[in-house]
Amino acid sequence: AQKVTQAQTEISVVEKEDVTLDCVYETRDTTYYLFWYKQPPSGELVFLIRRNSFDEQNEISGRYSWNFQKSTSSFNFTITASQVVDSAVYFCALSEASTGNQFYFGTGTSLTVIP
Amino acid sequence: DAGVIQSPRHEVTEMGQEVTLRCKPISGHNSLFWYRQTMMRGLELLIYFNNNVPIDDSGMPEDRFSAKMPNASFSTLKIQPSEPRDSAVYFCATTPGLPIETQYFGPGTRLLVL
Q: How far is B11 from chain A (nearest CA, A)?
A: 15
pLDDT tens across B28-51, in order? 998 999 999 998 888 999 999 989
Q: Which positions 95-114 of A are in contact with B (Cβ < 8 Å)?
A: 95-97, 100-103, 105, 107-108
Beta strands in B72-108 (DSSP E): 74-79, 88-95, 104-105
Task: Report the amino acid identity of residue B29.
Answer: H
* Chain A neighbors of B89, CB-CB under 8 A: 43
The alpha carbon of B82 is separated from its chain's Cα centroid by a whole number of angstroms, namely: 15
The answer to whether A19 contacts chain B (CB < 8 Å) is: no
Asked which of A14-23, A75-84, B45-54, B76-85 is least confident by mean pLDDT, the reply is B45-54
Interface test with B, best of A101, A102, A103, A107 (most B CBs within 10 A): A101
Give the integer Cα–Cα distance in Å for B6 and B26.
11
